[in-house]
């Protein structure tokens, strides 16, 4: 079996194939992706065939057998008529603007609900700053306002990073396996008040 075929079967990257290959570099394994043909899609949902420009990007993906793994692909920009500016197209394997793949971010967010920071940073070999950023991104992306509708039992965690100088407040829903429903920088009462504001009085009465 060709190496590219093997990587296609192992990684199963949505919307892309690995036609040429795979490079083993001192930083880790770099897998070159080719997008399946199609329109350029703005993160807002607007689509076009017209390309503004293109460049090569890399995303950190989950490690493969102890090696760091990077996905690399040509990414195009488009002039979005709805956003009225030039934006980078959306790719299926990563959230807009992210430096890590969706899978990597989801694993980080999942672990952040269940374990301590040393475990995450050691296991995934990422900085705690990256973990904090990823958790905030995943929470913002996955959860629309409906996530606050059925809250009954919640837990609030304060996670510190930068040697205890920065804090992240994380609210988890205990009736849904500890799913993170909200997160924000900071850890004083004003942060939680912002959460309660978003939840609203009606929903708050059920907590
Ligand atoms: Zn747009």
CA of 25 to the centre of ligand 1 (A): 36
DSSP 58-91: EEEEEEETTEEEEEEEEEEEEEETTTTEEEEPPB
132: phi then psi, degrees, rounded to nearest 5 = -60, -45
* pLDDT(161) > 60: no
CA of 140 to the centre of ligand 1 (A): 18
pLDDT digits (tens, 9 = 90+) for 113-151: 788 888 889 989 999 889 888 988 887 776 555 555 655
CA of 181 to the centre of ligand 1 (A): 26
CA of 108 to the centre of ligand 1 (A): 28
* pLDDT(16) > 80: yes
- State the alpha helices, DSSP H only, in the chain: 3-11, 102-112, 117-124, 128-142, 189-199, 201-204
Packing angle between helix 102-112 and helix 128-142, nearest 10 degrees?
Answer: 100
Contact by Cβ (8 Å): 167, 117: no
Model-level pTM? 0.68
Q: Can you tell me the distance from the alpha carbon of 179 to that of 177, in angstroms, rounded to the nearest whole number?
A: 6
Q: Can you tell me the distance from the alpha carbon of 116 to that of 134, in angstroms, rounded to the nearest whole number?
A: 15
CA of 165 to the centre of ligand 1 (A): 37
> Three-class SS of residue 167?
strand
Q: What is the pLDDT of residue 6?
A: 79
Give the residue-averaged pLDDT of 41-68.
92
Dihedral angle over CA of 112, 114, 120, 124, nearest 10: -90
Specify which of 60-64, 75-79, 119-123 reaches the highest per-range mean pLDDT: 75-79
CA of 93 to the centre of ligand 1 (A): 18
């Amino acid at each position: 079996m060709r190496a590219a075929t093997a990587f296609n079967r192992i990684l199963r990257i949505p919307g892309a194939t690995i036609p040429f290959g795979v490079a083993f570099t001192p930083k880790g394994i770099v897998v070159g992706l080719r997008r399946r043909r199609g329109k350029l899609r703005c993160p807002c949902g607007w689509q076009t065939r017209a390309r503004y420009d293109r460049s090569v990007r890399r995303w950190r993906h989950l490690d493969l057998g102890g090696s760091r793994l990077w996905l690399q692909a040509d990414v195009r920009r488009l002039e979005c008529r709805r956003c009225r500016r030039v934006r980078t197209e959306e790719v299926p394997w990563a959230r807009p603007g992210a430096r890590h793949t969706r899978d990597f971010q989801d694993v980080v967010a999942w672990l952040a609900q269940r374990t301590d920071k040393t475990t995450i940073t050691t296991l995934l070999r990422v900085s705690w700053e990256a973990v904090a950023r990823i958790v905030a991104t995943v929470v913002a992306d996955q959860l629309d306002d409906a996530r606050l509708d059925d809250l009954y039992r919640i837990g609030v965690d304060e996670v510190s990073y930068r040697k205890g100088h920065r804090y992240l407040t994380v609210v988890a829903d205990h009736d849904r396996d500890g799913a993170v429903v909200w997160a924000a920088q900071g850890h004083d009462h004003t942060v939680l008040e912002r959460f309660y504001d978003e939840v609203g009085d009606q929903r708050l009465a059920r907590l």
